[in-house]
């Protein structure tokens, strides 16, 4: 029997749920589901993941797992006021100290150069999710298209309901920093920022604004929603920059 081809779920995200259901039924019929009595298997797996991560070193010399963090297998829902969540209503405004500000809808975002990056993310509450693959558009690509002016020093990620997060320009334009709409091949759920969110993996995860609506390039820093409420302005997990 010919294997069915997965539909283009980037351009047509509404097809993904049906595809996932089909694959789930197929896997269940093949007997691939695994049950663990009493949760013991999950506990052992979690301990192994933490030991392994603590023993690993990044290419920049830092430990893979920052101090005070523990590994979990899935992103936790950390709350916030969600946006609409529908790709057909998505709009991204790229503006600020740029020569050519512009707006993008979801289809236009997908037409820009796309990247896939493996990244670890670290929540200020103490959990880390490691090695997921994210797909999206680099913030550096958005900056280049807009013609960022030479005196820009910071990037402000804007999101629904007035939420913002501030990131130094040099870090926000790094090789893993993007507007992302896929994690491990699947769209984000509404709880995690659908249809697109920011990704700034080397800073605490609140900097990776969910339900993103804008990327603003600025000269002077503009502390964001959590920063003006007592959280650290920079938020480096390896320095445990949790609070101001």
Nearest alpha carbon to residue 120 among 204, 220, 207: 204
141 SS3 class: helix
Question: In whole angstroms, how far apart are CA 179 and each of 3, 14, 168, 203?
Answer: 32, 20, 16, 15
Alpha-carbon span 118 to 124, nearest angstrom: 20
Q: Which residue has the tokens 């101001």?
A: 244
Query: Which residues are within 8 A (CB) of 215 and not within 5 positions of it... i.e. 6 or more apart?
Result: 92, 93, 94, 95, 139, 142, 155, 156, 157, 158, 179
- Per-residue pLDDT at 65: 97
As beta bridge partners, residue 116 has 135
pTM: predicted TM-score of the whole model, two decimal places: 0.82
Domains detected in the chain: 45-239 (3.90.420.10)
pLDDT digits (tens, 9 = 90+) for 29-78: 444 343 344 455 545 667 888 999 999 999 999 999 999 999 999 999 99
pLDDT digits (tens, 9 = 90+) for 53-62: 999 999 999 9
The overall average pLDDT reported for the chain is 88
C-alpha angle 174/128/47, rounded to 5°?
140
């Amino acid at each position: 029997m010919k294997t069915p081809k997965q539909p283009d779920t980037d351009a047509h995200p509404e097809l993904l749920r049906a595809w996932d259901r089909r694959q789930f039924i197929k896997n269940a019929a093949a007997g691939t589901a695994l049950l663990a009595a009493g949760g013991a298997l999950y506990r052992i797996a979690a301990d192994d993941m933490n030991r392994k991560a603590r023993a690993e070193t990044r290419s920049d010399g830092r430990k893979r797992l920052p101090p005070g963090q523990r590994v979990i297998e899935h992103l936790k829902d950390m709350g916030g006021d969600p946006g609409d969540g529908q790709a057909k209503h998505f709009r991204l405004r790229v503006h600020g100290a740029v020569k050519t500000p512009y707006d993008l809808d979801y289809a236009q975002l997908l037409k820009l150069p796309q990247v896939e990056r493996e990244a670890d993310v670290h929540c200020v509450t103490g959990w880390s999710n490691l090695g997921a693959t994210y797909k999206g558009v680099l913030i550096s690509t958005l900056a280049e298209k807009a013609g960022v002016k030479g005196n820009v020093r910071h990037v402000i990620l804007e999101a629904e309901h007035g939420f913002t997060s501030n990131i130094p320009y040099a870090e926000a334009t790094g090789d893993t920093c993007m507007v992302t709409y896929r994690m491990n091949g699947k769209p984000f759920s509404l709880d995690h920022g659908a249809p697109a969110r920011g990704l700034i993996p080397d800073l605490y995860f609140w900097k990776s604004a969910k339900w993103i609506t804008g990327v603003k390039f600025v000269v002077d820093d503009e502390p964001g929603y959590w920063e003006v409420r007592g959280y650290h302005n920079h938020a480096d997990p390896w320095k445990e920059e949790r609070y101001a």
